[in-house]
Chains A and B, each alone.
Chain A
Amino acid sequence: MMKIEKKENNLLKNAVLILIFAAIIVLLDLDIIGDNYVRRVLNLAAIYAIVSVSMNLVNGFTGLFSLGQAGFMAIGAYTVAVFTVPVEARKAIFYIVPQSPLVANIELPFFVALILGGLLAALVAILIGMPVLRLKSDYLAIATLGFSEIIRIVFTNMKTITNGALGIKSIPQMPTMWVFFGAMIISVILIVLLINSSYGRAFKAIREDDIAAEAMGINLFKHKVLSFAIGAFFAGIGGGLLASLLGTVDPKQFYFTMTYNFLLIIVLGGMGSISGTVIASFVVTVGLEVLRFFDDSLVLFGYEVPIFRAGFRMVIFSILLMILVLFFRNGLMGQKELSWKMVGDFFNGKKSPKNNRKGGAA
């Protein structure tokens, strides 16, 4: 009896929480609270959440140390850019080298281009994955990092399709936050469902012990490629959304350092925790903005503090990162998911016995 009551109670709490979030987004969306800057940062955080959760599927749940996320995002971003810019606007963009007739007259609706971008990213992931996923740990990381750079350089040089280093401008921007948050919610739900399916369990088995997994009849190669391709699909979706959010793409955005943002997010959130990753996406994206005042010069009592200058923000950020790695190695959530019990325990000052190092970080 107690248990059922508790369940209903949690259901009610969840419903209230979802309503509050939905209300906040509606208010933001209708321009009643916040401004364009706030909306932009939150949309970016939603995109980062999609890409980080997909990266966590590959790195945290399947145990493949892949660093190719930026490359797959570039594929999604360029697909959206190439196919959604209105045909009449393209002449002005491709003013040095005309666009290849192959794609010059094709204009797709945003959502079609978005899905296509995801699928192309997955396709490339399968092709890359065939040779690369035979490698393990560090070698896999180096190889995927390399491929991510190759993708970026290919885009820089495919001038007739991608406009090279000049990038593509005037990408139609989505008018509502619901596009980004909707995509985030759907992506996260799909990945959670996948992780809790038989395939998700097989992924976790590979992470835990690949020799035992193979002896239990799990085809390692097939499942690794599957996880890698699904991760790339959602990274592609994230990239497509980023193109729409910014309204412009150019190859420099997808420099391999971008992948480290996502790596930071999944380490901070906890490898193997979806809710941790989503929370960390917002903490990191918003945190990077909040720390921006370190980049401005600061005058105290008529004395200009010398270290406050452009770039200091990243120094602070790196220090925070080091503290995190030193003291909270499992991230906010470890491999656990957020639950009401966890929140309750935290506020009551209780610490579950195994959680005292992880939970404390929240």
Chain B
Amino acid sequence: MSVLKVDSVVMQFGGVVAVNNLNIEVEKGHIQALIGPNGAGKTTAFNVITGVYTPTKGNVYLNNEKITGLTPDKIAMKGIARTFQNIRLFKNLTVLDNILIANHLHVKSNFISSTLRLPWSKAEERHMREKSEMLLNKLGLLHLKNEIAHSLPYGEQRKLEIARALATDAKLLLLDEPAAGMNPHETMALSNFIYTIRDEFELTIFMIEHHMDLVMEISDKIYVLDFGQLIAEGTADEVKNNPRVIEAYLGVEEDAEN
């Protein structure tokens, strides 16, 4: 069953067609990747899925429910969480606060009972804190809970951003270049981390990534985007040997000789 379905999506900014007729299906429990050269429209595709942009044409479905045109917060509530290419943590807040904020979408108390610390709000807050600490513990970040987010090392910030996305209880996780700026050692650790969270939280993961080793290793299916067009899809081997993909990444040979 496909969790996410992007159906003939076109995203146009004035005269620029950033994404043209994109079709993607992400299967439940899979790790799938979206790759392509710089400026291919990958992040635009993510922004369409998460509601930052409303597509010019086409639709996005989550578990067969149409989510086109919903605002990002509504889509987050439906169960899609994401990370960003250039880390967007709540920098001046603590690690724990970052996680607690991602829990806010489930808060049932209104602001008055929350402010007055009425019994049910207090219970809700306590439950939220326990849940957040448990999550941090699972991801090995608990000892950092009182640190200010921007003081963490880069790798931990990436991890915290993923933890924050998980805290929304999402079932579909979109990772925008999770390995950007990581050394090979850290990238290896990341691939294990992605496997672990997929199994632990029963996630479906869809990611944009440039580290080909990582993508080829962990993806069940790969989509290749170039100039807004889908030029290939399939398993790592299929994509690796696809002439159009090689052309997109390396250029055509005649060009190189001239």
Contacts and interface: CB of A to CB of B under 8 A. Distances in A.
Interface of A: 190, 193-194, 197-199, 201-202, 204-205, 208-209, 211-220, 226, 230, 335
A215 B104 contact: no
A21 B104 CA distance: 38
A212 B124 CA distance: 23
A215 B82 contact: yes
Contact of B164 (A190, A197, A216): A216
What are the 8 A-B residue pairs with the smallest beta carbon separation, nearest first? A217-B105, A217-B76, A208-B90, A212-B88, A197-B114, A214-B72, A194-B115, A205-B101
Contact of A201 (B71, B101, B124, B165): B101
Contact of B117 (A193, A199, A214, A218): A193
B111 interface: yes
B38 to A, nearest CB: 21
Nearest to B107: A198
15 contacts: A193-B117, A197-B121, A198-B107, A199-B111, A208-B90, A209-B89, A212-B88, A212-B90, A213-B101, A215-B81, A215-B82, A216-B165, A217-B105, A219-B73, A335-B92
B134 interface: no
Contacts of B128: 198
A218 B98 CA distance: 13
Contact of A214 (B73, B91, B124): B73
A201 B104 contact: yes
Contacts of B117: 193, 197
Contacts of B104: 198-199, 201-202, 205, 216-218
B231 interface: no
B99 to A, nearest CB: 10
Nearest to B79: A217
A204 B168 CA distance: 17
B88 A202 contact: no
A197 B102 contact: no
A209 B98 CA distance: 11
A212 B88 CA distance: 6
Given A204-B90, A208-B89, A217-B73, 15 more contacts: A193-B116, A197-B114, A197-B125, A199-B107, A201-B101, A204-B97, A205-B93, A208-B90, A208-B92, A209-B88, A215-B82, A216-B101, A216-B104, A217-B105, A230-B111
Contacts of A219: 71, 73
Contact of B72 (A194, A201, A215): A215
A193 B102 CA distance: 20
Contacts of B72: 214-215
A56 to B, nearest CB: 15
B90 A220 contact: no
B77 interface: yes
Contact of B93 (A199, A208, A216): A208
